[in-house]
Amino acid sequence: MHQPASTIDHVFHALGDATRRAIVVQLGRGPASVSELATPLPISLAAVVQHVQVLEASGLVATRKQGRVRTCSLIPNTLLEAERWLAQRRALWEGRLERLEALMQVRTSIDHAATTAPVDAATEEEPA
Amino acid sequence: MHQPASTIDHVFHALGDATRRAIVVQLGRGPASVSELATPLPISLAAVVQHVQVLEASGLVATRKQGRVRTCSLIPNTLLEAERWLAQRRALWEGRLERLEALMQVRTSIDHAATTAPVDAATEEEPA
DNA sequence: ACAAAAGTCAAGTCGTTACTTAACTGTTGG
DNA sequence: CCAACAGTTAAGTAACGACTTGACTTTTGT
């Protein structure tokens, strides 16, 4: 699994780098030129340009060039997509938990009633 | 910026790999052993073990070993932390947008009233 | 017109990381 | 007891990714 695939792949790969996240943080405060982004960073301008390219390819930032200055800004919707990806995994897992806890409730309240009874909901092998 | 720093750094770095995300997806459906995680993947068991170690170090998954089988499960709270990081960037940005739009409203409704008036809110240099 | 500013592009270096194979440790069913 | 199972560890390889330097282009202020 060494090749990039979906958009979400690009997004998370882009966010996987600390410098790029620093750039995202900065852009959260508002649009900025490449040089402005570079100023607080301990790397060369050229390196920042490369990071911006990665961020742009991932759909996390948009850039527009006017004259000699390229202005970068966040695309919040892509942030949202990443959020949703995470939220979905979490929701699935927490859904499972809830079902398990519900099952525990039933088990402990009925308890001795039916030890061999088919309490088979939500353990393994979901239908789809 | 080549060294890992905060927890969030570990988390996003872990999520930056497609194979690891596939594992997270799988674990979203419920706990699984290392072998179970490995089955659908086109890589060796040893490689999967390494990925699991990265995920565990990042705080995204917890593992427990019973007998010879190590069972892995998601830690939803870490997912939530990552979600919040993204949500915060987005909120900041969208807050800016709202303020800008509000400003536009004012500008276009008042319009010619005071071209030289100090409408200086939310443009540059936030206090803290 | 010219120099500085703001990027861009192309190589090339170097550390990191994903992966493999192979040898090894514990565990479990028969 | 022993064979298969589940995983672990170590060492090595190959590719990737972050970064640098240097040469070049375009724009802008004076």
CA distance B80 to B90: 15
Percent of chain A past pLDDT 70, that is, above it, reads 70
Q: How confident is the model at residue B97 (pLDDT cuts 50, 70, 90)?
A: low
Lowest mean pLDDT among A92-96, B9-13, B88-92: A92-96
Q: Which chain B residues have a beta carbon less than 8 Å from that of A86?
A: 79-80, 82-83, 86
Q: What is the pLDDT of residue B4?
A: 36
* Strand D closer than 7 A to residue B5 Cβ: no
How does the average pLDDT of chain A come out, rounded?
Answer: 82
pLDDT of the residue at A105: 62
Q: Quickly count helices (H) and strands (E) in chain B.
A: 5, 3
Average pLDDT for residues B37-46, to the nearest whole number? 98
pLDDT tier at B119, thresholds 50, 70, 90: very low
**What is the C-alpha to C-alpha distance for residues A95 and B3, in angstroms, rounded to an integer?**
36
Q: A101-105, B2-6, B40-44: which has the minimum mean pLDDT?
A: B2-6
Nearest in space to A51 (alpha carbons), one of B56, B1, B116: B1
Which of B67, B66, B73 shows the shortest CA–CA distance to B52?
B73
Question: Across residues A75-91, what is the average pLDDT?
Answer: 97
CA-based nearest residue in chain A for residue B6: A18
Q: Which of A26, A87, A19 is nearest to B5 (CA)?
A: A19
Q: With a 7 Å cutoff on the CB, does B30 touch strand C?
A: no
pLDDT of amino acid B16: 97
% pLDDT > 70, chain B: 71
